[in-house]
Structure 1
Amino acid sequence: MKRRSFLFTIGATPFLQPGQSLAAAPIQVYKNPECGCCSAWVDHLTAAGFSVRVTETPDMSSIRRRFGMPERLSGCHTATLEGYVLEGHVPAADIKRLMATKPQAVGLAVPGMPVGSPGMEYGNRREPYKVLLIDRRGRDSVFASYPGSSTVGGAG
């Protein structure tokens, strides 16, 4: 009987269709209601296939503290996904890699607001930046690196 129940469960499980969420749970984003780049990052995640819920709050420091993200790595928004914390403009591809590898970690951070990161697009201009993996002791290591552009000056 257990085998039959198991096979029924597998048969009843829908396959991922285009436009469906990649994660079982949505990414929960906490952002300041005044911030437009946070909304652009949410659009980036949605376009990449993630389901997203947004909670607006003016007190981002307490959110970071609650989820164990060191303040020194702060970005302009904080998100959670299946036990991980995502701080700042983390690219969707790196979130997918995090979820595929599931390291023992607090999560990922892109400190500051680097121009050219998802949600911070400004023409062809891109500042170099790193996506950091934060371990459970608050130490960081490089998870991914993104080069800058050779464009100098304003928007391209």
Structure 2
Amino acid sequence: MDRRKITSLAVGAALLGSAGFVLAGLPTTVQASEMTVYKSDSCGCCGGWVEHIRKAGYAIRIVPTDDLGPVKARLGVPESLWSCHTAVVDGKVIEGHVPAIAVNAFLKAPGASRGIGVPGMPIGSPGMEAPGYVPDRYDVMRFGAGRTAPFMTFRGAEPAAR
């Protein structure tokens, strides 16, 4: 083997090793336990959110219900955050159209919070995509450790600067 081939192989191996190191620090799909989602069978936007969460690597168990009020009350979701579906994963509550990026970040460091939620149904949030419309800017709120407080800000399903 000539010197140029050996040098090329050495550089290639170094680049691959560096890429592996860099990629190891990037977020990947989660390996969370099963997420239970309480939702109405007839709600299309809830189904869209479930697919978004599935694509992020979560296993989903759906509990169909048309009476979500008692579920939300039992789980301690503040009424100001109520939306069209409620989920529980690893003992934490996810209310409404919360992007998977926020779910992942919250589960890594929930602190004393019971959960996170997005009030209402912002246009462009996961499950609420509307072609031809500009995605809303909205806050994912944390709750359960005193008052609700902003956790992350999004435009559509992407983080936005605060």
| TM-score bracket relative to the smaller structure | 0.7 to 0.9
Aligned to 2:46: 38
Q: How far apart are residue 32 of structure 1 and its match?
A: 1.3
Q: Provide runs of 4+ in structure 1 moved above 4 Å.
A: none
SS in 2 for 1:63: helix
C-alpha distance in structure 2 between counterparts of 1:117 and 1:81, whole Å: 20
Q: Which amino acid in the other structure matches residue 128 of structure 1?
A: R
Aligned amino acid, residue 105 of structure 2: R
Aligned counterpart, 2:31 = 22
Task: Answer yes or no: is 1:101 the counterpart of 2:113.
Answer: no
What is the distance in 2 between the residues matched to 1:34 and 1:147? 26
2:85 equivalent to 1:77: yes
Shift of 1:21: 5.7
1:29 and 1:52 in contact (8 A); partners too? yes
Partner deviation per Cα, 1:28-60 (whole Å, 9 max, x = no partner): 000012210000000000111111111110101
Q: Do the aligned partners of 2:97 and 2:127 also contact (CA within 8 Å) in 1?
A: yes
Q: Within 2, Cα distance between the matches of 1:37 and 1:147?
A: 17
Structure number with larger C-alpha Rg: 2
The answer for unaligned runs of 5 or more in structure 1 is 1-19, 149-156
TM-score by length of 2: 0.74
Secondary structure of 2:139's aligned partner: strand
Distance 1:74 1:102 in 2: 20
Equivalent position of 2:142 in the other structure = 133
Deviations 1:104-156 (A, max 9, x none): 1110000000000011001152011110011333x1111011247xxxxxxxx
Percent of residue pairs identical: 39
**The one of 31, 55, 59 aligned to 1:47:** 55
8 Å contact kept, 1:107–1:135? yes
Gaps of 5+ in 2: 1-28, 157-162
